[in-house]
Amino acid sequence: MYQIAPAMRQFLFLLPVLLSVAIAKAQTPLTAEAAHDYLQNERARMLATVGRGDHPPLDSLQKGIGILQKAFSYSQRPEVTALAQTSRSLYARQSDILFDLAQLQGMAGQPAAAAASLRRLLVPAFAGTYIKEILKEPFLTAARQDPTLKPLLERAQSVDNVFNSGVLATPYQPNLSVAEKVAGLSKLWEEAKYNFAYFDHLPGFDWDKLYLDYLPQVQATISTLAYFRLLQTFYAQLHDGHTNVWANGGPLADSVGARPPLRAHLVAGRVLVRDVQQDSLRRTGLVPGLEIVQIDGLPAVAYADRYVRPYQSGSTTQNVDVQTYTYNLLRGPKTRPVRLTFRDAKGHEFTRVLPRSGYGKFTPKVPVRLRFLPGNVAYLQVNEFETNAGFKRFVAAFDSIRKTSALIIDLRQNGGGNSGNGYDILSYLTDKAYRAGSYQSRIYSAVGRARGEGVRFEELYKTDTWSPAGVNKLYTKPVAVLISGETFSAAEDFCSAYVGLKRGILVGEPTGGSTGQPLAFPLPGGIMARVCTKRDAYPDGTEWNGLGIRPTLPVRPTVAALQAGRDPVLEAALRALNGSAKPVKQEGPKRKIARQ
């Protein structure tokens, strides 16, 4: 009798299982995320094969070309192209692969093949993204000479020049030409007219009239410095913290942006030293808590009102105060010292003349601090979201934090950065997926305007949510977040989502009241500007931009408390978390995000 080998019997036994797995896999629908990840992994595999050097071996180049060709073929499958129609990130990976492929083909000495890849890339959807890279990539020099490619490059460059021409980015001169000055003002006017998100926050405002009012003033300026200051006041009329003008380095920045290593803040109408960023100054008796009484012979507040405040763009009074006193109060020409009169807590006054330059590196602000306070309370101070330092410190200490009775997150000195670095922390405070906010941006149609349409908005990220970190990464105890007028941008995005989660109290002062996606662009004379393009609101659509996110427990620090080394805001949060003080609910004006 024929005997079935043991290995074959095992295979036949497993065959139904293997078939069921294969069938299940075949029936699992492909997702845009899975397709995107596959293409990104193939790009990473190509990079690992070719390496990062300028002259990889030819056989490595050929292997890399093969990987990308197969990846591009995958991206052209009907099911993948259908998914790409609703996924911008997946759609963009197709263009990335084509550009990578053209580069490798150019490096391998295959200009005709590189030109063919670039022809596929130079379609309206992709051309503007890559035209500058194509024109400057040395390995594509030969491919660019292809006669069939030249007209495509020229058309793409013409379209790209509509928004990205470098003609207006002229270098600094002590006094720009009248044409450059008018062009700079006009560029500011144009970018705001078509992109600024908050004209409805300016009742009765006429942007065109303001432009006409400023034209003769700009033409009459006798220096680039005077012209620059005028542009700052022009954009300050939009009252938005993400819409402003600044000097982009060089001589102009040297004439307006140098300062001694001191930062101040306004407390109850008085100007106090907040930070001393140089040990050498601390050793001379300059310490936080000193009051700045006079600046160059003027009362400190009067000096700020005359020489600093008119040039600050801000969405709220507290936002302008922070810009005026914390970030810009002592700025000026690097060659001109500033004369400061101080008063200590006992009333003793003394004067110092401080250079605005020559200090070397300032002591940087500590990005994150973690302490465990009496009462088993964890205190996490996160001073920036530019990096994920706050999240990394939180995660590293989470086993200890989860054992505490309460958590305080201090964002009072957090000026923003990447919102995701804040949301990552929030994901440990909830067990449910959540929306971080509600968003809109302007949408422009030339045909629509010809038919009488006005300013219109489109909703963004309507289905986007953030996921909880997981069951073993959940903090369930009471939470308080400390805020101030310096809490700004991405830090306010954190607070907006936190309010939507109803996760705990906010203690302190209203936040700066400004976030959004700024569009940056150059102006003549080494000047840069930006304009806010996105409306942000609470997840339910209630706006806080232009108002600030309001504390549930309002607490304002006093001069006496700060000079005594106390922190009234932190003290109030601890009392509230311990149950000995009830949060005071402060109702502020509310408005729903515009539906236009």
Tell whether the torsion through CA atoms of 581, 582, 588 and 593 is positive or negative.
Answer: positive
Within this chain, do residues 260 and 132 fall inside the same structural domain, yes or no?
A: no
Chain-centroid distance of CA 169 in Å reads: 23
The whole-number pLDDT of residue 27 equals 56
pLDDT in tens, 237-275: 999 999 999 999 999 999 999 999 999 999 999 999 999
261 SS3 class: coil
Do 489 and 582 have their domain in common? yes
CB atoms within 10 A of CB 260: 25
Looking at residue 2, its pLDDT comes to: 40
Tens of pLDDT along 68-82?
999 999 999 999 999
Low-confidence ranges of the chain (pLDDT < 70): 1-27, 579-596
Note the pTM of the prediction, 2 decimals: 0.85
Do 425 and 562 sit in the same domain of this protein? Answer: yes
Q: Please check whether residues 506 and 411 belong to one and the same domain.
A: yes
Whether 348 and 409 share a structural domain: no
What's the pLDDT at 557? 95
What was the pLDDT predicted at 579? Answer: 67
Give exposure, 153-185, as e/b (b: 16+ Cβ within 10 Å): beebbeebeeeeeeebebebeeebeeebbebbb
> Which positions ≥6 away from 517 have C-beta within 8 Å?
441, 532, 533, 534
Judgement on whether residues 350 and 374 belong to the same structural domain of the protein: no
49 located within any domain: yes
pLDDT for position 6 = 45
DSSP-based three-state secondary structure for 71 = helix
Same domain for 376 and 503: yes
Q: Contact at 8 Å (CB) between 291 and 558?
A: no
Measured torsion, CA atoms of residues 155, 158, 162, 164, in degrees rounded to the nearest 10: 110
Q: What is the pLDDT of residue 595?
A: 39
The total number of structural domains that make up the chain: 3
Position 372 in a domain: yes
Residue 55: predicted pLDDT: 87
- Check whether residue 72 and residue 94 sit in a common domain: yes
347 and 378 within one domain = no
* b/e per residue 559-575 (b: at least 16 CB within 10 A): eeebbeeebbbbebbbe
* Structural domain for 289, as ranges: 256-354
